[in-house]
């Protein structure tokens, strides 16, 4: 019974930790824009938290370069179970326009397991919100 | 370069055995050798008030590394270019222009040229901490991105 | 490895206190801090900062190397993604550097359109920054309202170019899309709206206690000589009175024809930066209105061959954060021989480190945001207190909370988590 309540609470109010892994900031500003009054992801209960230990959902942007792979993995380990990872943008999925550059990975799924990819360069705030809600089963 | 500036630079250029190569209107390259470059830049900064160093560009010129100090003043861009052999040491201008410190670190990371006199010369600015010390600096023509990616473990999935 | 670090840390604290790594007690780290690389290592004596060491390899992707193997036109859209906030100016500066090697001229209409998009980007970037300053000082309402107004500019950019952030409007010797017809009146109205809003926010920052407390006289020990020696650019040079603006000193695109007033201030503190950027929004809005009403007719693009003649050329542009520099060298092929790009944040970093010395810990987030850095730079900071022998690591959010609680202790718990 308590399990059911916890599951319901997580779905209704995802706590999000955002990490920028070598991003150009385009995806980050669209993510932060989804908090602002026009898009207002907070009406779905989503909240950005300051520490990975309080988070349910980890949102990652950027091409993961050699310097950020370690920190990304460490942050992932600090997020308590059950956790979800969302990769935002083309760079987080495949390396984007930088694929083949000498310091760029091939997407974050090489470092941590990913539950959802939101494509776009950068994806619109509406797309980001749709992705988060779809992951949590709010929409189908 | 404008006539007045050209004349004033010409005096110091002769002293420093420098060669003035006008590229087009408003852009000039001045080639100086390592022994005289500090002196020349001091003259530019103190006597001609050309104080704004935009950046320092490194170039792979085959056997040597070219170090270009890009200065700008109003509508003039002045590139002061000097060359050093690969994998050797160049002089630092951090005491003349303190803002040059990060640019010299960048050239050191990318081309392998040490700057003697730069207090942060042994630090990395841009390259990752796990850069293998036997790998050549990335912006040399002989460096291949595929090789670098393999050495930095960026190709294979890291399932630790 | 630890003795190397020991030696380095000892040198950095310049003999103020003898310590060794064994004495340091990690203080509630959220990250496993002692092995965690950080953007800024801040060395404190009690509450005062004595030195700051930067480490900025986190967004290094190797673009300059990749540019040497890609065709000229592909590089334009790659360099656009160097930064999400000033993306158009990056592609413009690269485009101008390459166009200078060819014999072709940019049509007048294209130059005006380039100016319009550049200035819209400047408005969006400055509004973004003012909102962030609100967020970092604990004034969430300012953040929400400013970003709401910013959506107006982004809608306009989307109507013209098709995308909000990475516009891809530039091409060699021209732009890719024309201005939509019949929008002039609407654009002029929106510019008037933005001017009124900028004036309203200007009034807020001059009178609101939250902002005044945290920005007035903060970082005010910088003078013109220091700024010139450290070669700072953009608003970081103009806020001490220097008239450094590429649009004034070395006009490009249509800046020689559209009337432009440079904005400078003399106070040299963070509040001067707020006023300066809001005034620049008003200047940009006026320029856009003028350009839209006086847009010349003609083609928007000249087709150029894929092989660029040999030579070297450099170009400077004024991005919202300062001067951008691109240097391009061609050996007559389909790919460049060398491309060098220098972002303004790198030029302003030595000045930022200098401003931080002597500040208190609570002022760090405000001062670092004041130089308008990229987001990622604020993510991780580590601190070393030589007086109390403590070392710890904070995320940007934790530092922000510390700053708010330091200045407004009765506001504890009311700021957004």
- Asked whether residue B156 is domain-assigned, the answer is no
- Asked whether residue B160 is domain-assigned, the answer is no
Minimal CA separation from C286 to chain A, in Å: 26
Residues of C with CB under 8 A from a CB of A: 30-32, 36-37, 57-63, 65-66, 77-78, 81-85, 87, 128, 143-144, 147-148, 151, 164-166, 374-376, 379-380, 395, 397-398, 401, 417
Q: Tell me, yes or no, whether C128 and C186 share the same domain.
A: yes
- Torsion-angle region of B55 (φ positive above 0: left; ψ -120 to 50: alpha; else: beta): beta
Name chain A contacts of C148, Cβ cutoff 8 Å. 36-38
Q: Is the ipTM of this complex over 0.85?
A: yes
- Asked whether residue C417 is domain-assigned, the answer is no
- B96 φ, ψ (degrees, to nearest 5): -85, -45
Name chain B contacts of A105, Cβ cutoff 8 Å. 154
Please choose, from the candidates C110, C266, C325, A63, the residue with its C-alpha nearest in 3D space to the C-alpha of residue B68.
C325
Coil vs helix vs strand at C24: coil
Minimal CA separation from B15 to chain C, in Å: 25
What pLDDT was estimated at residue B5?
Answer: 78
- Asked whether residue C173 is domain-assigned, the answer is yes
Q: Tell me, yes or no, whether C15 and C98 share the same domain.
A: no
Please choose, from the candidates B81, B68, B63, B60, the residue with its C-alpha nearest in 3D space to the C-alpha of residue B138.
B60
Name chain A contacts of B148, Cβ cutoff 8 Å. 102-103
Q: Tell me, yes or no, whether C154 and C93 share the same domain.
A: yes
Rg (CA), chain C: 23
Q: Tell me, yes or no, whether C23 and C170 share the same domain.
A: no
- Asked whether residue B159 is domain-assigned, the answer is no
Name the least confident of A72-86, B123-137, C116-130, C225-239: B123-137
Which residue from A49, A75, A103 is facing C62, i.e. has the nearest CB? A103
Domain that holds residue C151: 62-342
Whole-prediction pTM: 0.89
CA atoms within 13 A on the CB side of C417: 13
Contact call for B52 and C244, based on CB within 8 A: yes
Q: Tell me, yes or no, whether C97 and C129 share the same domain.
A: yes
Minimal CA separation from B77 to chain C, in Å: 8
Contact call for B124 and C229, based on CB within 8 A: no
The domain boundary residue, chosen from C286, C311, C342: C342
Alpha-carbon span C217 to C215, nearest angstrom: 6
Of the residues C79, C81, C121, the best mutation for testing chain A's interface (the one with the most A CB atoms within 10 Å of its CB) is C81
Please choose, from the candidates C248, C267, C148, C129, the residue with its C-alpha nearest in 3D space to the C-alpha of residue C197.
C148
What pLDDT was estimated at residue B62?
Answer: 87
DSSP string, C25-64: EE-S-SS-GGG---SEEEEEETTEEEEEEE--GGG---HH
Contact call for A103 and B148, based on CB within 8 A: yes
Of the residues C225, C236, C327, C374, the best mutation for testing chain B's interface (the one with the most B CB atoms within 10 Å of its CB) is C327
Average of per-residue pLDDT across A64-89: 88
- Asked whether residue C416 is domain-assigned, the answer is no
Coil vs helix vs strand at C325: strand
Of the residues B22, B72, B103, the best mutation for testing chain C's interface (the one with the most C CB atoms within 10 Å of its CB) is B72
Q: Tell me, yes or no, whether C69 and C52 share the same domain.
A: no
Residues of B with CB under 8 A from a CB of A: 128-131, 138, 143, 145, 148-149, 152-158, 160
- Asked whether residue B17 is domain-assigned, the answer is yes
User: Is 90 exceeded by the pLDDT of residue A65?
Assistant: no
C395 vs B102 pLDDT, higher one: B102
- Preceding amide of A82 cis, omega within 30: yes
Q: What is the pLDDT of residues A8-41, one digit of tens each?
A: 666 678 888 888 888 888 888 999 899 888 998 8
What pLDDT was estimated at residue A45?
Answer: 84
* Contacts for C117 with CB less than 8 Å, ≥ 6 apart: C88, C157, C160, C161, C167, C169, C175
What pLDDT was estimated at residue C414?
Answer: 43
Contact residues, A window 81-120, toward B, CB-based 8 Å cutoff: 100-106, 109-111
- Percentage, residues of chain B above pLDDT 70: 96
- Asked whether residue B37 is domain-assigned, the answer is yes
**Over the range C48-83, which residues count as b (16 or more CB within 10 Å of their CB) and which as e?**
ebbbbbbbbbbbbbbbbbbbbebebeebbbbbbbbb
Catalogue all structural domains in chain A, each as residue range(s) with its CATH number: 15-135 (3.40.50.12280)
**Do C41 and C5 meet the contact criterion of CB atoms below 8 Å apart?**
no
Average of per-residue pLDDT across B79-108: 91
What pLDDT was estimated at residue B58?
Answer: 92
Average pLDDT, chain B: 86
Confidence of residue B104 (pLDDT cuts 50, 70, 90): very high
- Asked whether residue C147 is domain-assigned, the answer is yes
B131 vs A1 pLDDT, higher one: B131
The domain boundary residue, chosen from C320, C342, C364: C342
- Asked whether residue C267 is domain-assigned, the answer is yes
Check the CA dihedral C153-C233-C43-B114 and report its sign. positive
- Asked whether residue C105 is domain-assigned, the answer is yes
Name chain B contacts of A101, Cβ cutoff 8 Å. 145
Number of domains forming the structure of chain C: 2
Query: Low-confidence residues of chain C, pLDDT below 50?
Result: 1-2, 6, 9-10, 12-37, 413-417
Minimal CA separation from A117 to chain B, in Å: 18
- B6 φ, ψ (degrees, to nearest 5): -60, -40
- Asked whether residue B88 is domain-assigned, the answer is yes
Nearest CA in chain A to B137: A102
Contact call for B110 and C64, based on CB within 8 A: yes
- C300 φ, ψ (degrees, to nearest 5): -105, -5
**Within an 8 Å CB–CB cutoff, is residue A136 touching chain B?**
no
What pLDDT was estimated at residue C2?
Answer: 46
- Percentage, residues of chain A above pLDDT 90: 25
- Asked whether residue B157 is domain-assigned, the answer is no
Domain that holds residue B62: 3-151
User: Is 50 exceeded by the pLDDT of residue B159?
Assistant: no
What pLDDT was estimated at residue A83?
Answer: 87
Minimal CA separation from B4 to chain A, in Å: 43
Distances (CA, A) of C40 to A73, B87, B105, B139, C379: 20, 29, 16, 26, 10
Alpha-carbon span C240 to C267, nearest angstrom: 6
Q: What is the pLDDT of residues C240-280, one digit of tens each?
A: 999 999 999 989 988 999 998 899 998 888 899 999 999 99
Which residue from A50, A53, A68 is facing C397, i.e. has the nearest CB? A50
Distances (CA, A) of A124 to A17, A120, C359: 19, 8, 39
The domain boundary residue, chosen from C342, C362, C385: C342
Number of domains forming the structure of chain B: 1
CATH code (residue C280) = 1.10.645.10
Contact call for A102 and C66, based on CB within 8 A: yes
Quickly list H helices, A51-97.
Answer: 69-78, 89-94
**Within an 8 Å CB–CB cutoff, is residue A53 touching chain C?**
yes
Which residue from C55, C229, C244 is facing B99, i.e. has the nearest CB? C229
- C326 φ, ψ (degrees, to nearest 5): -125, 135
- Asked whether residue C285 is domain-assigned, the answer is yes
Rg (CA), chain B: 18
CATH code (residue B18) = 3.30.460.80
Name the least confident of A57-71, B1-15, B30-44, B52-66: B1-15
CA C244 to chain centre: 16
Name chain A contacts of C57, Cβ cutoff 8 Å. 65, 67
């Amino acid at each position: 019974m308590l399990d059911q309540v916890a599951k319901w609470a997580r779905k209704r109010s995802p706590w999000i930790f955002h990490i920028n892994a070598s991003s150009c900031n385009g995806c980050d500003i669209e993510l932060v824009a989804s908090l602002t009054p026009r898009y207002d992801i907070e009406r779905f209960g989503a909240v950005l938290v300051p520490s990975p230990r309080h988070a349910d959902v980890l949102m990652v942007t950027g091409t993961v370069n050699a310097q950020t792979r370690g920190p990304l993995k460490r942050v992932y380990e600090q997020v308590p179970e059950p956790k979800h990872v969302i990769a935002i943008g083309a760079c987080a999925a495949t390396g984007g326009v930088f694929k083949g550059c000498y310091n760029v990975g091939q997407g974050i799924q090489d470092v941590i397991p990913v539950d959802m990819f939101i494509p776009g360069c950068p994806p619109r705030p509406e797309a980001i919100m749709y992705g988060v809600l779809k992951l949590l089963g709010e929409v189908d | 370069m404008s006539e007045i500036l050209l004349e004033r630079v010409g005096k110091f250029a002769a002293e420093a055995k420098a060669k003035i190569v006008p590229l087009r209107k408003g852009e000039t390259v001045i080639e100086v050798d390592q022994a005289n470059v500090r002196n020349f830049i001091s003259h530019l900064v103190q006597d001609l008030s050309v104080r704004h160093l935009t950046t320092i560009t490194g170039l792979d010129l085959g056997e040597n590394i070219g170090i270009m100090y890009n200065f700008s003043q109003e509508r003039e861009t002045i590139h002061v270019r000097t060359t050093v052999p690969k994998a050797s040491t160049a002089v630092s201008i951090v005491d003349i222009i303190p803002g040059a410190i990060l640019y010299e670190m960048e050239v050191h990371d990318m081309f392998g040229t040490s700057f003697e006199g730069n207090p942060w010369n042994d630090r990395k600015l841009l390259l990752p901490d796990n850069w293998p010390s036997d790998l050549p600096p990335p912006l040399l023509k002989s460096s291949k991105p595929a090789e670098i990616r393999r050495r930095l473990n960026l190709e294979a999935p890291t399932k630790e | 490895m630890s003795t190397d670090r020991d030696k380095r840390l000892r040198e950095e604290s310049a003999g103020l206190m003898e310590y060794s790594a064994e004495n340091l007690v990690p203080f509630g780290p959220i990250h496993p801090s002692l092995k965690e690389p950080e953007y800024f290592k801040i060395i404190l004596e009690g509450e005062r900062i004595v030195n700051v060491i930067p480490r900025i390899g986190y967004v290094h992707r190797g673009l300059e190397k990749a540019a040497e193997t890609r065709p000229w036109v592909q590089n334009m859209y790659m360099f656009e993604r160097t930064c999400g906030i000033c993306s158009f100016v990056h592609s413009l500066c690269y485009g101008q550097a390459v166009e200078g090697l060819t014999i072709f001229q940019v049509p007048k209409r294209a130059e005006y359109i380039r100016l319009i998009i550049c200035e819209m980007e400047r408005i969006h970037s400055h509004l973004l920054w003012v909102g962030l300053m609100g967020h970092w000082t604990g004034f969430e309402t300012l953040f929400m309202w400013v970003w709401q107004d910013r959506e107006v500019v982004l809608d306009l950019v989307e109507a013209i170019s098709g995308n909000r952030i990475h516009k891809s409007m530039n091409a060699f010797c021209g732009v890719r899309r024309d201005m939509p017809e019949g929008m002039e009146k609407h654009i002029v109205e929106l510019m008037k709206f933005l001017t009124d809003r900028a004036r309203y926010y200007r009034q807020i920052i001059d009178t609101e206690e939250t902002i005044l407390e945290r920005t007035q006289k903060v970082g005010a020990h910088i003078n013109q000589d220091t700024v010139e020696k450290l070669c700072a650019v953009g608003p970081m040079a103009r806020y001490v009175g220097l008239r450094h603006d590429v649009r004034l000193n070395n006009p490009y695109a249509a800046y020689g024809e559209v009337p432009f007033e440079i904005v400078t201030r003399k106070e040299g503190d963070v509040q001067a930066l707020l006023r300066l950027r809001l005034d620049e929004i008003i200047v940009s809005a006026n320029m856009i209105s003028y350009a839209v009403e006086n847009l010349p007719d003609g083609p928007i693009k000249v087709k150029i061959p894929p092989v660029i003649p040999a030579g070297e050329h450099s170009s400077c542009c004024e991005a919202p954060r300062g001067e951008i520099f691109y240097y391009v060298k061609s050996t007559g092929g389909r790919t460049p021989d060398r491309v060098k790009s220098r972002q303004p944040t790198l030029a302003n970093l030595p000045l930022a480190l200098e401003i931080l010395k002597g500040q208190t810990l609570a002022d760090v987030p405000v001062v670092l945001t004041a130089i308008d850095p990229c987001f990622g730079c604020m993510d991780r900071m580590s601190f070393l207190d030589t007086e109390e022998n403590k070392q710890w690591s904070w995320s940007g959010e934790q530092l922000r909370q510390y700053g708010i609680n330091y200045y407004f202790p009765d506001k504890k718990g009311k700021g957004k988590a």
